[in-house]
Amino acid sequence: MKIKYFILSFLLLCANLLLADGIKFTASASKTEVGTGEQFEITFSVNGNGDDFRPPNINDFQILSGPNVSTSMESINGNTTVSTSYSYILMAAKEGEFTIAPATMVVNGRRLSTQPIKIKVIKGRPVPQNNAQQNNQTDNTPPPNTSDLSKLLFIRAVVDKNNVYDGQQVTVSYRLYTRVGIDDSQPDKLPDLNGFWSEDVKRPQQVQWNTETYKGQQYKVADIKQSILFPEHDGNLTIDPLSMVFIVRQPVASRDIMDQFFGSYRQVKYKAQSAPVTIHVKPLSEEGKPGGFAGAVGKFTIDASIDKTEVKTNDAINYKVKITGSGNIKLFKPLTVNFPADFEKYDPKVTDTVTEDIKGVSGSRIYNYLLIPRHQGDYTIEPLKFSYFNPNTGKYVTLESQPFHVKVNKGAAESNVTAFSGTEKEDLKILGKDIRYIKTNGDLSNADDMFFGSFGYWLLISLGPVLCAGAFIYRNKVRKENSDVVKVKSKRAGKIAAKHLANAQLQLNIKNTKGFYEAIFKGLYGYLSDKLNILYANLDRETIASALRAKSVNEQLIKRLLDTLDLCEMARYAPVTHISEQEVFDKAKGIINDIESEI
């Protein structure tokens, strides 16, 4: 019986050996002796179908690229074999002798291991060895050349003009040029745009590619980010670079016929950054500058209207001013309108209807004023004067609306207003029913049944001073707490962020991807502005990171926050596929909770 089991085990062992016969899982290095700062390649190859590849821990070298996977097929007399290789581009960082541990892979149910590789790192350039020369003869795959990639993949910041007036709009397009395939991209650093008020141009979620010839070479071109900028002061202002990290497919040489037919590629990590652009900003001319100029720069028209020209006292009048054109519409300062002294005026309701595109900001702003005349008579609403600076002519232009004549008649007498000799209704500012007639009929009650002098009366009298003292103490406490503006903003930061996150959840439910990321971005920035007591306009990556470090927030949490902000910003002009919106929502919510617990 034991002999049968022995024979069966022996046969199974032979079968496994036969199945594994011819399958080789090997490791090789382009060089076994390198100098510090020099790049070299290691490759793990298997001449069969395998899975569950597990690379070794490469802690002694810097990984520049990998794993770069390539597969080749070979067919001889009807027999087809498949070979797969996993390669890494490494760089030696320190001197010494190091061993790259074996990699493992499952082939035909067995886990195979490669032999370890010994690498000697010396100072400076390596001494050529026979092993290295032999490996170079059999391996025609060159290491990635970033200098070549810089000519094949780059970003340009293109502006429509670089010599402008203070407040004149400038459009900048961050344009991607490529002659290689791009597998993935991530933002590295977004431009700060200090010295500019900026407005991003809304773009489709899918990037639109075109063909363009630049310096004699043909490229695929796409605008990955477009912004409209308004200089906030004169002088030389710099448009900061946009930096991104790409995973590109770089062609490699191969002697394999199938690779030559289908093409052989490796994935290379490459960082591209646009060059900074200087904008020369001229100050606005002081010559001919009209009084009351409110900083409008561009080209505009004005129109004013009124809904009624004859009303009664205390009736409402709607006075509307519409300014239309192109320029810094959203930066207009409040208008100065002279209304009759007998008209009660309320703050205007401001409505913007603007379009942001590559040509700039254009549209209209409407001011709706609610007016209430309190006395009868004939009145004139004087013309409104609006001045702007036209950068095309370099001169100021003053526009003037038409005047309006309003006749105010005496209003009907109110039955609930007590008449006083010589006093009209319009002389009384009626707020509800605060003036009533004297009541001439009613029931009289017995003096013994009156509440005055009773126990309840004296109880309420005594409660008055107590409640007053309590209210005084509570008021002082609230005043003391509200006097610390920083503390108040910090306390309400979480509530404001919760509102934005609620809006983000709503956008997520209706599948509005762009609105979702904008709500997340505004929620995080608004929360940080209040929590760290930093103006919203002054927030950037460096300011946020340094402020959180000053409050002893751990680096891992800071990195999670900055990565999420970059992700939301990138989602405005490029689709995000490696993470779901629900995961982004949970991540943002968790970041706010973690910051609240640490600060």
Distance CA 564, CA 587 (A): 8
Residue 311 φ/ψ region, left for φ over 0, alpha for ψ in the -120 to 50 degree band, beta for the rest: beta
Check residue 71 and give its pLDDT.
63
Delimit the domains of the chain by residue range: 22-141, 147-282, 298-409, 485-598
Burial of 571 (0-12, 13-18, 19+ CB in 10 A): buried
pLDDT band for position 133 (50/70/90)? very low
Rg (CA), the chain: 38
Q: Which helix (H) or strand (E) holds 589?
A: helix 581-598
Read off the pLDDT of residues 560-587 as tens digits, 9 standing for 90 and up: 888 888 888 777 666 766 778 888 888 8
Higher pLDDT, 243 or 534: 243
pLDDT given at position 2: 47
Which residue is associated with the tokens 């930066």? 331
Calculate what percentage of the chain has a pLDDT beyond 70: 76
How confident is the model at residue 422, as a pLDDT? 37
What's the confidence (pLDDT) of residue 508? 82
- In angstroms, the CA 172 to CA 159 distance is 4
Which of the residue ranges 152-166, 354-368, 557-571 would you say has the lowest mean pLDDT? 557-571
Average pLDDT over residues 402-427: 60
pLDDT for 140 equals: 40
List, in sequence order, every residue forming a beta bridge with 373; answer none if it has no partner.
Answer: 343
Q: Rounded CA gap, 325 and 187, in Å?
A: 35
Is the pLDDT at 279 greater than 90? The verdict is: yes
Q: Does domain 147-282 have CATH number 1.10.4160?
A: no
Q: What is the pLDDT averaged over residues 146-161?
A: 83
22-141 and 298-409: identical CATH topology: yes
pLDDT given at position 420: 37
Average pLDDT score over the chain:
78
Pairing of strands 217-231, 196-200: antiparallel
193 pLDDT above the threshold of 50: yes
Q: What is the pLDDT of residue 419?
A: 36
The dihedrals phi and psi of 419, each to the nearest 5 degrees, come to: -80, 135
Confidence of residue 72 (pLDDT cuts 50, 70, 90): low
DSSP 382-401: PPPEEEEEETTTTEEEEEEP
| Whole-number pLDDT of residue 189 | 86
Average pLDDT over residues 523-535: 83
Q: Which listed CATH number (1.20.120, 3.90.550, 3.40.50, 3.30.300) goes with 485-598?
A: 1.20.120
Question: Is residue 325's pLDDT more than 90?
Answer: yes
Mean per-residue pLDDT for 363-367? 92
Q: 475-486 in b/e burial notation, b at 16+ Cβ within 10 A?
A: eeeeeeeeeeee
> What pLDDT does residue 17 have?
47
Q: What is the pLDDT of residues 416-442, one digit of tens each?
A: 333 333 334 444 444 444 445 455 555
Query: Which residue is listed with tokens 């108040």?
Result: 488
Closest by alpha carbon to 578, among 257, 186, 103, 172?
186
The C-alpha atoms of residue 395 and residue 286 are separated, in whole angstroms, by 10
Q: Tell me, what's the pLDDT at 486?
A: 53
Give the pLDDT confidence score for residue 260 in this predicted structure.
Answer: 45
The structure tokens listed for 548 are: 């959180």
Residues 408-416, mean pLDDT to the nearest whole number: 65
pLDDT higher than 60, residue 121: yes
Q: Can you read off the two tokens belonging to residue 286?
A: 């002081």
The residue with greater pLDDT, 127 or 562, is: 562
Write down the pLDDT at residue 447.
55
Report the alpha-carbon distance of residue 161 to residue 526 in Å, rounded: 33
More confident residue, 305 or 19: 305
* CA–CA dist 558, 196 (Å, integer): 26
Q: Judge: domain 298-409, CATH 2.60.40.740.
A: yes
pLDDT at 168: 92
Max mean pLDDT range (20-24, 344-348, 521-525): 344-348
Q: Using 50, 70 and 90 to split pLDDT, how confident is the model at 130?
A: very low
Give ∠ CA 243-249-254 in degrees, rounded to 5: 145
Q: What is the pLDDT of residue 428?
A: 42
Binned at pLDDT 50, 70 and 90, residue 450 comes out as low
Predicted confidence band at 389 (pLDDT cuts at 50, 70, 90)? very high
CA–CA separation, 385 and 337 (whole Å): 8
The domain defined by 22-141 carries CATH number 3.40.50.2300: no
The DSSP result for 530-587, as a single string, is: HHHT--GGG--HHHHHHHHHHTT--HHHHHHHHHHHHHHHHTTTS---SS-HHHHHHH
Residue 66 CB neighbours (<10 A): 20
What pLDDT shows up at residue 378?
Answer: 92
Instruction: List the one residue out of 241, 30, 57 whose CA is nearest residue 119.
Output: 30
pLDDT class of 457 with cuts at 50, 70, 90: confident
Give yes or no for residue 144 having a pLDDT over 90.
Answer: no
pLDDT at residue 253 above 60? Answer: no
Is 224:574 a contact under the CB 8 Å cutoff? yes
- What is the share, in percent, of the chain residues with pLDDT greater than 90? 19
CB 269 within 8 A of CB 246: yes
What helix, strand, coil percent values describe the chain, rounded to 5?
30, 35, 35
pLDDT band for position 371 (cuts 50, 70, 90): very high
Window from 294-298, 374-378, 439-443 with minimum mean pLDDT: 439-443
Put simply, whether the predicted model's pTM sits higher than 0.75 gets the answer: no
Q: What are the tens digits of pLDDT across the range 536-567?
A: 767 778 888 888 888 888 888 888 888 888 88
pLDDT given for residue 439 in this prediction: 55
pLDDT class for 278, splitting at 50, 70, 90? very high
Q: Looking at the predicted structure, is the pLDDT value of residue 516 above 80?
A: yes
Average pLDDT rounded to a whole number, residues 490-501? 70
pLDDT score at 426 = 44
pLDDT for the residue numbered 488: 57
